[in-house]
Amino acid sequence: MQSETFDHVVIGSGLAGLTYALRSATRGERVCVLTKGQLTDSNTSWAQGGIAAAVGEADSWELHEQDTMVAGAGINDEDAVRHLVQNAPEAIEWLIQIGAHFDGDGSHLSLGREGGHSRNRIVHHADNTGWEIERAVSEAVRANNLITILPFSFVTQLLIEEGRCIGAVAMVNGVGFRAYLAPNTVLATGGAGKVYQHTTNPNVATADGIALAAEAGCKIENMEFMQFHPTTLYHPQLRSSLISEAVRGAGATLRNHQGRRFMYDYDSRLELAPRDVVARSIHFEMQRLKTWCVYLDTTHLNPEKLRAEFPTINATLLEAGIDFTKDWIPVVPAQHYSCGGVVTDLEGRTSVPGLLAAGEVTCTGVHGGNRLASNSLLEAIVFAMSAADAAESEPKPILRQEPKQAQCVSESDAVRIRHTLQRTMTNNVGIFRTFAGLNEALKSIDQLDAELARLPEAPFSTYARETVHLLTAARYIVEGALARKENVGLHYNADLV
């Protein structure tokens, strides 16, 4: 197999991967970024609400820390949380320096408020903050001649020799496998949304990093803490578009089909209770009234302000025939964020030497049982920077063994297996869980794994490999949920009440 050697191999081109690449390049080091789609295909590009940082006058990192711990049900890693919140203002400054634009009047940033935050601290760019950030980091990466970008390079395997990660194998442009070697390999592959039928995540979120890390022998934790966004558009044809928490922050209320503002029945913080509380309340309300969705009501808010603050949401809704200045928006919860993942220390080190990880693929301990809104873009920057600073200057590795090639089943078999898995996970391992449902899901995953092993081999297919990765991640989610003996954070098992 042909190989190429760099100082760093970065897998993924969302905020975590590109931050790491830029930081390493400032030291004059050569970085290769492997990414399975276009450079900007990522969860990062879809982020709406913003990025949290205690930069307001009445705010402090101590308050941000407290809010993060409360949202995480107190099972967060305190050192990781402190590292996150203390470095937040610097992360915002860095983004501005590299060219990201945020709302404000020049000298002051305009700070939004989201559920679980005790202060206004959400730095944002209208309702498409993620796209603006991804635009800025990807332009900076493109302009840097120390960074080689390889789009449409799907990583199938991490290379481990004598217990150390020395790089990765990728299928490049669908035409052949190549090895990319470096003393430091960084997993920045993002989320696992596609384990479920309904998710706000784009198609690239197929838990590849979880499966690659598991195969390499890394520790994976907290996968049962799967965050469901309470308010995504309910529409039979359109994808589960997010109706940002910032809309509730601006005063939107939740109503059932009878018009009742039902959050009064569930939590005194009403629509601004933490996400898990709001998502569960919607789930119960839909079950109680046997309806497919509930409604977000923005019709009492200033129409000009609404359109100006949420232009992307407005455009999506108009496409669906909904004018949110006049109509209620039908919403349901959908998978949104994976709080668990590959265990790292404060400097992004995994349990395998030479392998670092940053961003949504990780379990840094920051989120505990539940992520506080707008802490994930922040985590991606802060921990990617620390990982880049901690990277080792080991001698350049050499490929001694020919890597084995990834095996695949046919795409039609993969489609069937993926859909069965997504249905099982949605029905049994969603917001509301029971032991019977979790055992049912585990049985189904065992059967699907056995089927994969039996099916004839077919030519390489990204879709088929992703499906194998989804199965691996699903097993971690279910086993984590079965092992948890109390309801905490996002994990809710009705048999434990």
Beta bridge partners of 176: 172
* Helical residues (DSSP H) of 200-333, grouped into ranges: 208-216, 245-249, 275-289, 303-309, 311-319
Q: Is 285 or 360 the residue whose CB approaches ligand FAD more closely?
A: 360
Other CB atoms closer than 10 Å to residue 401's CB: what's the count? 8
Known catalytic residue at 23:
no
The site for ligand FAD (CB under 6 A) is made up of 11-17, 34-37, 41-44, 46-51, 129-130, 154-155, 188-191, 200-201, 204, 208, 242, 337, 359-361, 374-377, 380
Closest CA to 343 of 365, 317, 359: 365
Q: Is 354 or 359 the residue whose CB approaches ligand FAD more closely?
A: 359
Tell me the backbone φ, ψ of residue 298, rounded to 5 degrees. Answer: -115, 10
Q: Is 249 or 437 the residue whose CB approaches ligand FAD more closely?
A: 249
Query: What span, in angstroms and rounded, lies between the C-alpha atoms of 465 and 448?
Result: 14
Query: Edge to edge, what strands does the sheet with 220-221 contain?
Result: 220-221, 341-343, 362-363
* Smallest gap from residue 353 Cβ to ligand FAD (A): 21
167 Cβ partners below 8 Å, 6+ apart? 3, 5, 9, 158, 159, 179, 180, 181, 182, 185, 397, 399
Q: Is 35 or 256 the residue whose CB approaches ligand FAD more closely?
A: 35
* Smallest gap from residue 272 Cβ to ligand FAD (A): 15
The pairing of beta strand 111-112 with beta strand 122-123: antiparallel
Which position among 82, 121, 248, 275 bears the catalytic label? 275
Q: Are 166 and 380 in contact (CB under 8 A)?
A: no
* Smallest gap from residue 241 Cβ to ligand FAD (A): 8
Q: Are 66 and 100 in contact (CB under 8 A)?
A: no
Q: Is 190 or 437 the residue whose CB approaches ligand FAD more closely?
A: 190
Which positions are catalytic? 275
